[in-house]
Every structure is written in C-alpha cells, then in structure tokens.
Structure 1
C-alpha cells in the first residue's frame, strides 16, 4: 500500500456572529445498511441522484459530481458551484486530497476588511456584497476528480441536476425555515425573484421551484467542461455580479477566474488506537485539529468514560489545546510555513496532553511550540467560519470520498448570478485584522491566498490499511468538534454511525465549554462547572454523514439535525 501522507491564544479579529445555519427541527432516524455502495448526503434528492449514478456503474467520483450539483439546487444556503470544497479520496491503495478552496483576487490587500476607522468591519457589513467573494473552486474540483476517477461520461453525471433544475423540485421545510430567518438575501433582485413571492415572503415549503438559468449553466458545463465556468458568459456574469454590487462591490476579474487551479496536496494521516485517520491538511485546519484532539484522548481509556461530563471535560480540554495552535500556526501553506509535522508529532501531542488536569479545566490554552517549526513570528487570530455541507460516498469497488463543500455563511454573500447560483463569502474566513500584538496574522488577507478552513473530511483505515469509515460534517469552526465527537463515538464507544452522529455535541474552541442546548448534554453542566469550566449552552446544528464498512456490508448514518439521508444499493 502507498499512502501519500505527512507523518505523524488568538484574539478574535472580527465581532462574533450568530451560529451558522440555525436549527430547523430534528427528525428520528435509524442507521441504514447496504451491500454494494452508499451515499450519505444532506438532502434526499441529492443522495438519490448519487445512488442512481452508482447503480448505473458510476464511481464515487461520478456520484460526487451529481450529489454536489443537486445540492446546489436543494440546499443552496450551504454549498454550490459558486463556492469551494475539499475532497479526500481513497482508491484502496492511495489516499489523495484535492483542494478546491476559493482564492482571494489578485488585487486583495491585508486591510480588506478594515473600516475607515482602521478597525475590523462588522461581520455582515463585510459579508453582504462582492467584497467577500472568493474565486470559486468547486467546478474545477469536480472536473479534476471526474477526469481522474470517473467512469461515466461527464454529461451523464451532470444530467440529474440539469433535469431537476428544469423540471423543478419542492422546497423543503428546512430551506423554507432558513429563508424565513434570513435578513439580507431578498435585497438581491435575482435572489428575491427566485426565492420569494410577490409579497416578499419566502416561497412556502412544498412549492415547486424551477431554475432554468442553472439548467442552462449545467448544460453549458456538460458540453464544454469547467473552462466554460472560468471564462466566457458564465465568468462574465460572476465578475459583473461581484463588481456591480451598489454598496459593497468586490474586485474579482476575469483573469482571477482564468488563473484558478485545484491543488493536489499530501493527505494528512495520523494514528488513533489501531486506526489511521486521514484528512485534509492546510489551508484547512480540520485534520490537524482533529488529530491533535485524538492525540490527547489517546493517552487515556475513552471507552471506559462513555458520554458524560468526564468525557466532555477531556474532549473540551483537548479542543482548547488544538484551537490555540490552530489560531497561531495554520494558514495557506503557499504563504505561511505551517509546522504540520510538528503539530501532529506524537511526542509533541503527549506533551500537550500532559497539560490536561483530570480534575480542573485549564481555562484558556496557550499555543505550544511544536518541533519542525521555522518561524514564531505570527500574531494569533481565531477568525469566524460558518455553514457548509458534507457528503460521504463508498462505491462497489471500495473507492471512497469524503467531501466537505461550502459557500461559507448561509446563502453566502447574498449575491445570485443570472446563471442561477449563489456566490460565496469565503474571504471573511480570513482574519479581519491583519496584525495582532504587533505581529502579522498568518491567516490575513493576501492576493491569491486561500483562507484557512475548519472543514474536516475524514477517511479512516483499520489496522490492516483497509477502508473502515468515511466521516465529515458542516458547521464552521464547530466542524472540528463534531468530527472528533463522531470518531470517538464510532471508534471508542463502538456506536453505529447514526447513534454516533446523533450524540449531543460538545467541546471547546479555546473559549467556553460549549454544550448542545436542548439535549442530555445540559445535564453535564454542573459536573463540568465543578471542574472550573465556563459552560455555555448553544445550538450546535451539525450535519454529520458517516459510513462504516463492516463484514456484512455498509452501515450509514445521517445527522438527525438536518434533512440528509444515507442510502445505497
């Protein structure tokens, strides 16, 4: 087997904003079992499109194209071709990761999100409009994956979404609920005409929504490939939408679009118990932070703890340590020398785990000094991240994809192109303040740079280097804690993926200890406060999609907090 992989106190620069994608209800779900293949995705129509592609003999990569393009229609608040994504791919021998993260335009400056007074802009003042839009990467990523691992024709895998855009689909209660809570989207004329009725109210759940403009875009991509997105009519539409905003225009150019390229990066793999955990390295902080959390938990018997205040204490303390390092060290590796090997080094993780007191919270963790670092000149910055979507796919040949995809905040920059899709606000994942404590921030805005992410698409191999599980979640910077919790649930507590996904969410991002409101985690509050934790009860609207490979077949789970399903053949 050959796996291309790397061995094993920040100040918040912008004002804290609401949690990503508010909850819209919870449904009771049971795990799904199949024998050949499986798709776990955030909407039943998207998952069904993926299953149909797999049934037609398509690969995991073929299914991912169909799932993503349908998600653009049925879950437009979370992802789409106006955004970016990270993909982890396993072909039975090699782990590969593709970086389709958005990039800052060539004219971007570090002061992009500072107001006239030199202070960071308010979050939504920065988000809404063209200023926040990064050069989209999703279409290039999908094409790259299909060219490399696809089996069916490109036109065939695009067809399900094109047909759905033409024929229409019914608005789900979740989409209607999020539109009802949305404050900015209908200020965009194109989006208002699409999502709202003549009175300005969100179109009701059950309404059939058609998107002929998006259908035309998809047919153009089917005929001419991704180049038709990055040049020509669609590209002109993107640029004019970004630069034409009346109060907050951006500066993206056609040259920015033409220059965009997907980056293949080494998979970031590390041990946990008998397993190998593989994910996406920088510019995502997800795999580093998840492996740091697991590296701390590996020093004790998590199986003996079970869900409860003691387990929440350890996971939260491990999260504090991971987020402290994340705030200081992680950014686009083309611009910053990220000490990746040092951050997941076994000796370093043991030294960090020794800082955890079983009886008392450390409060605010400080970043460590990992080996192999080449610089310690950065100022720390936590930053804000928001909503996303995730898909987990395993095909009948054992190929697997874990892909997390985003347009950042719910409904992105609140800009809809005439080509039928929303644009991202990914650039607000950069630190708004370029300098902290007199030092440049690693994740500051720079021309051509990819903003730091917390997306953590994960593939797990067993002790024999065989595929064991595919996991991931949306949720902004909370993704790291969602994925870590799910991995503990599956690997330590031996839960099926549905039960693991539905466990109460908990953890810390190096601030308060955050427990999911309205769940049994609320009963852990007193026990944690007795250990000195500052406990906050918050909505934690994860969207975990997990598939576990067993001797009898595939077992899948889709987070009950959202409308996703796990289905297959």
Structure 2
C-alpha cells in the first residue's frame, strides 16, 4: 500500500468522477476508496465498505478522524425502502461538567468517551456481510507498512504542529528523527497498527473494557482527566431503526438525520430566483429558523417528532419565502472540527452515507494512546460551544418516485452549505455530479468572523454585487478546503451509478 496511497497534488479527472453498474464508493482519500471498493468486490455490503474505508481514513487522514472520535452512518434498505441510523457519539465522562477554564482546555479533561468503534460495530452487526476482522485488513497494512504522506496531511499537521508534537508519542509519530514528516515520505504508525489488529481480533470489548481502555483512561487521568473505566464500559451506540422520510416542495423525498435539508431544498424549489445572493439568503434564513423555531423533540419535553416534522414540511418552508426575498442578511457562527464523509452503494442497492470524525481540532491537545489520537471534542465544552440549529446534518439521500436519485455528504464547517449547493445543482439545476463539484461555492464563516466564505472564482462582479446588497463576505481562494468535500453518487435512469469526489479534498470515486 505504501506505493499507492498518496493523494495527487492536483485533482485528477479520473478520480473526480466515476461510473459503475454494481457498486460505487466515494471518499476523500484514494486509499480509503480502494479499501471500500475491494470490500464491495468481495461481496461485502455498503456498510462493510463504509467501515473498511473509514478505518483506513483513521490512518491516512488522522487530522480528520480517529478511533477515539465519533461515527454515524445512515443506511437505506432497498427491500423496505426505509433508512435507519446507527451512531457512536463522543461523550463527556460522568464526572466531567465541561466547564473548562484556560488551563482545563489543555488538560486531560478534554478527553471524551469514544464512539467510533461502538458505532462501526453496531452498524456491522445490523448490516454487515463480511467478517468484522476483514474490514480492518487495509487499515492495518497502511499503519504497519506505511503510506505516502501527501501535501494535505502535511499542511494540516503543520497548522496544528504545536499540539501534534506536544507529547512523546506524538513526536515519535509525526516528527520522526526530530522533524515533522515530509511530503512524499512513507509514514508508519506501528502502535496504531497493533491497536487495529487487536480491535479486529477482539472487537469493541478490547477498546472499551480491555487493555486499550485501561491505557486510554490512565493517559487521560495522568494529565488531569476525569474519565474512568466505568465511563468506557457504559458507552453504547445510538440506533434509530427507521428514520422518517421528509417530503420537499420539489417532489423529492429525503432520508437524513439533517431535517434542515427539507427546508433548504423546499425553499430552493419555491423561489424562482437562482442567483448566488438568493442561495446564500436561503441558507441564512434556514439556519436562523433551525436555531429559533424548529422544535427539538430530543431536548424539549413539550415537543414531539410530529412537531419537528411539521416544522420542516413544504408548507412550513413556504412561509419562509418572504423572509428570504425581503429580509435582511443574517450572518451566523460556524464550528471547527475535523471530519470525513463517505457514500457507498452496493450491488444489492443498499446505500450507506454519513460522516466520522475526531469532532475536534486536529490532534486534540496532543495526547495519544497506542497510536490512537485522543480528541478534544469542540462542541462538548461550554467555552467552545456554538449553537447548532435543529436539523443540522452532514448527508442526505434524495428519493424520487420511490427510487434513489442522489446521495451526498460532506465534512468540514461548511458541510450543510456544501451538501445543499451540490444537491440543488444535481436535483434542481440538472447538473451532473462532476459539473456540480467544479462550480465555485460559498461556505460558512470562520470564527471570530461571521462573514461567510465565498470562493473568489465567482468573479469580482458577483462578489461586489453581494456586498452591495448587504451580504458581508470573506473572499477565499478557489478550491478552499473549508468549503467541505462533496462525496456523492447520482442514480441514472438506466441503472448507471455516477460517483463524484470533490476536488477540494482530492479524493476518489470508484465504481465497478
């Protein structure tokens, strides 16, 4: 794998777009896509391929994801035509209130209870076809034998270098010979390879109750953390057997945990104007609506799921149209965390889509256990928390007339903006997925600014018009990483799968 796992330095058209008849996967790293495709070719399910690809990404994209982070996957069953969700979320230890001061933000108190492994294992138990151990073969090889470090990994590591090399295990891993690894260097992670091998052999018990759990807790507590073995043993996945399907004004039905997409796609259909200003205003008003007006049945004891669904219906979206057309621009905060998105379709029509993430700035505070980065989940602590609207999500499946039409997901602070724009391009504007990801994009803001990013490739005339109309913006270079990375698949009428990997993260779509 060490000879084939490098990302190209510039987008390769053969990686950006692919077609297939039996299966398709799209991820942000060619090595992860290759691992998922190999599983599909062996007869594995979409979920098997998703886990295999995600495991490789914990090795080759460690600034985005870690086994100690979180994982969520939404799965469409072609037999029932319903989608279910399985998630393993990071959580605070029982004895950690989360009220960190300046010193606390650089301590073991930031270490969470991991969710990735529980989420992956629960999804595999429900939808997997291959053995659990088979799903980690390529990840073990990548960690043990090494992979070619690319410019994106080097750049992220350089940006967060003060955390990456703060402690000895980080220095041994990311600073071999005393210097940060170089682009083109083969990067080996033997400790992580050992953890992956034990996880493949023993399953979640090793991670949450066995030797790894003991060392993870000891490392965190040695640095002031409050996590305990009881916290690790009490961890459990979240499962929603059947997600409600959300109708939209454009005639599509979407399957997603991100109910806000129902509002976004309906508004896009209801409003005839289709310029950049209007698309950004749709995003702003939907975000504000999710913050203030959509009832959250998870946290509000007076609300029900029916209340939430009614608030994202086409009829509810229609009432927001005047706000979009006549209201004033409404900037909003965004968050910062590393994430990977994956979409997969297998030969039987099962579809898996979602994200897995460190839920943290890269490398957390620099702590590692047996090669596993211990993240600092930004949204769990009061001092770092920004309010997230009800219905926030990172992926969706759009159905038309009972058949899949498009599935897309994205990482990064601009995940919702990315999925919204690419979904509108494919579903409403008639673009191919490859045409869509090559369009300039707008994204979220980067704190402390509240001005959304807009790629300068829109051109001065368009950007000056936005500013003239009162939309404060931050101009950024083309192909900005913080715009996210659309991993998507469109379903042709003839059964052809059209996969796409966003050139912003230089990944790969692979079909067969």
TM-score (norm: length of structure 1) = 0.79
Matched, 1:277 2:254: yes
Give, in angstroms, the shift of residue 317 of structure 1.
Answer: 1.5
- Pick aligned residue for 1:536 from 470, 474, 479: 474
The CA distance in 2 between the partners of 1:150 and 1:42, in whole Å, is 23
The CA distance in 2 between the partners of 1:51 and 1:94, in whole Å, is 24
Measured at CA, do residues 330 and 108 of structure 1 come closer, stay the same or move farther in structure 2, by a change above 3 Å?
A: farther
Give, in angstroms, the shift of residue 98 of structure 1.
Answer: 1.6
Matched, 1:362 2:328: yes
User: Paired residue for 1:4?
Assistant: none
The CA distance in 1 between the partners of 2:73 and 2:25, in whole Å, is 15
The CA distance in 2 between the partners of 1:206 and 1:212, in whole Å, is 19
The CA distance in 1 between the partners of 2:506 and 2:407, in whole Å, is 19
Measured at CA, do residues 508 and 269 of structure 1 come closer, stay the same or move farther in structure 2, by a change above 3 Å?
A: farther
Contact kept? 2:27, 2:509, Cα under 8 Å = yes
Measured at CA, do residues 323 and 488 of structure 1 come closer, stay the same or move farther in structure 2, by a change above 3 Å?
A: same
User: Residues 24-63 of structure 1, C-alpha deviation per residue, up to 9 Å, x if partnerless?
Assistant: 9752534211121111011111110111111111111111
- Pick aligned residue for 1:263 from 230, 238, 252: 238
Q: CA RMSD in A?
A: 2.8
Give, in angstroms, the shift of residue 268 of structure 1.
Answer: 4.9
Give, in angstroms, the shift of residue 512 of structure 1.
Answer: 5.2
Give, in angstroms, the shift of residue 190 of structure 1.
Answer: 0.8
User: Paired residue for 1:325?
Assistant: 289
Measured at CA, do residues 136 and 527 of structure 1 come closer, stay the same or move farther in structure 2, by a change above 3 Å?
A: same
**After alignment, is 542-551 or 408-417 more displaced?**
408-417
Instruction: Give the number of the structure whose residues are more often helix, by fraction.
Output: 2
Measured at CA, do residues 536 and 163 of structure 1 come closer, stay the same or move farther in structure 2, by a change above 3 Å?
A: closer
Measured at CA, do residues 151 and 484 of structure 1 come closer, stay the same or move farther in structure 2, by a change above 3 Å?
A: same
Q: Secondary structure at the match of 2:320?
A: helix
User: Residues 266-308 of structure 1, C-alpha deviation per residue, up to 9 Å, x if partnerless?
Assistant: 525322312112211xxxxxx1332222222221236xx3xxx
The CA distance in 2 between the partners of 1:341 and 1:233, in whole Å, is 44
Contact kept? 2:9, 2:151, Cα under 8 Å = no
User: Paired residue for 1:378?
Assistant: none
Contact kept? 1:104, 1:135, Cα under 8 Å = yes
Measured at CA, do residues 47 and 77 of structure 1 come closer, stay the same or move farther in structure 2, by a change above 3 Å?
A: same
User: Paired residue for 2:464?
Assistant: 526
User: Paired residue for 1:49?
Assistant: 35
- Pick aligned residue for 2:423 from 467, 475, 487: 487
- Pick aligned residue for 1:106 from 94, 101, 124: 94
User: Paired residue for 1:405?
Assistant: 356
Matched, 1:27 2:4: no
Contact kept? 2:360, 2:378, Cα under 8 Å = no
The CA distance in 2 between the partners of 1:69 and 1:458, in whole Å, is 22
The CA distance in 1 between the partners of 2:88 and 2:108, in whole Å, is 20
Measured at CA, do residues 128 and 428 of structure 1 come closer, stay the same or move farther in structure 2, by a change above 3 Å?
A: farther
Give, in angstroms, the shift of residue 126 of structure 1.
Answer: 6.2
User: Residues 107-136 of structure 1, C-alpha deviation per residue, up to 9 Å, x if partnerless?
Assistant: 2326x13x3xxxxx5xxx765442333211
- Pick aligned residue for 1:187 from 162, 166, 175: 166
User: Residues 528-567 of structure 1, C-alpha deviation per residue, up to 9 Å, x if partnerless?
Assistant: 2232222222453411100111115111111111121001
Q: Secondary structure at the match of 1:459?
A: strand
The CA distance in 2 between the partners of 1:277 and 1:96, in whole Å, is 13
Measured at CA, do residues 175 and 488 of structure 1 come closer, stay the same or move farther in structure 2, by a change above 3 Å?
A: same
- Pick aligned residue for 1:350 from 308, 318, 331: 318
Q: Which runs of 5+ in 1 are unaligned?
A: 1-23, 116-120, 281-286, 306-310, 366-380, 435-440, 444-450
User: Paired residue for 1:501?
Assistant: 437
Measured at CA, do residues 319 and 164 of structure 1 come closer, stay the same or move farther in structure 2, by a change above 3 Å?
A: same
Give, in angstroms, the shift of residue 329 of structure 1.
Answer: 6.6
Give, in angstroms, the shift of residue 91 of structure 1.
Answer: 1.3
Contact kept? 1:235, 1:257, Cα under 8 Å = yes
Which structure 2 residues correspond to residues 167-178 of structure 1 after superposition, within 5 A?
A: 167-178=145-156
Q: Secondary structure at the match of 1:174?
A: helix
Contact kept? 2:110, 2:375, Cα under 8 Å = yes
User: Paired residue for 1:196?
Assistant: 175
Give, in angstroms, the shift of residue 222 of structure 1.
Answer: 1.8
The CA distance in 1 between the partners of 2:300 and 2:145, in whole Å, is 47
User: Paired residue for 1:473?
Assistant: 410
Contact kept? 1:61, 1:401, Cα under 8 Å = yes
User: Paired residue for 2:187?
Assistant: 209
TM-score (norm: length of structure 2) = 0.87
Give, in angstroms, the shift of residue 333 of structure 1.
Answer: 5.7
User: Paired residue for 2:398?
Assistant: 460
Q: Secondary structure at the match of 2:341?
A: strand
Which structure 2 residues correspond to residues 222-301 of structure 1 after superposition, within 5 A?
A: 222-245=200-223, 249-265=224-240, 266-272=242-248, 273-280=250-257, 287-301=258-272
The CA distance in 2 between the partners of 1:73 and 1:142, in whole Å, is 16
Measured at CA, do residues 243 and 334 of structure 1 come closer, stay the same or move farther in structure 2, by a change above 3 Å?
A: farther
Contact kept? 2:163, 2:364, Cα under 8 Å = no
Measured at CA, do residues 523 and 76 of structure 1 come closer, stay the same or move farther in structure 2, by a change above 3 Å?
A: farther
Contact kept? 1:83, 1:424, Cα under 8 Å = yes
User: Paired residue for 2:3?
Assistant: none
Measured at CA, do residues 330 and 38 of structure 1 come closer, stay the same or move farther in structure 2, by a change above 3 Å?
A: same
